[in-house]
């Protein structure tokens, strides 16, 4: 199982626990996220995605202008906020 401290040791970026996306300037999405991760660049995003996919940890990638619908107004997993092209 992937642990937050392991992610922080490998991936450069900002990590937030149980916060609203609107607090991070994500428009049109009103949802509480268990984890919000803002990687510092494209390489960090690639590392992060690899680790999350390998562990099977639920995640979604959105940018600050994206529109994502969450059925129960909550996403149980990591939300990655980046304007990097994947």
**Token pair for 86:** 């994947």
> What three-state secondary structure class fits 77?
strand
Say whether 22 sits in a helix, a strand or coil: helix
Cβ-contact 63, 24 below 8 angstroms = no
Buried b (16+ CB within 10 A) or exposed e, 29-44: bebbbebbbbbeeeeb
Where do the domains of the chain lie, and which CATH numbers do they carry?
A: 4-81 (3.30.43.10)
Could you tell me the pLDDT band of residue 60, with boundaries at 50, 70 and 90? confident
User: Per residue in 64-85, pLDDT tens?
Assistant: 776 565 656 778 888 888 887 6
| Each residue's pLDDT tens digit, 23-56 | 988 877 788 999 999 999 999 999 998 998 899 8
Distances (CA, A) of 85 to 45, 46, 57: 10, 11, 21
Q: Give the pLDDT score at 8.
A: 94
């Amino acid at each position: 199982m992937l642990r937050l401290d392991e992610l922080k040791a490998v991936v450069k970026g900002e990590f937030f626990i149980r916060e609203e996306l609107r607090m991070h300037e994500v428009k049109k999405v009103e949802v509480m996220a268990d984890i919000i991760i803002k990687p510092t660049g494209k390489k960090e995003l690639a590392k992060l995605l690899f680790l999350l996919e390998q562990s099977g940890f639920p995640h979604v990638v959105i940018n600050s202008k994206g529109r994502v619908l969450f059925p129960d107004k909550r996403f149980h997993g990591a939300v990655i906020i980046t304007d990097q092209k994947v």
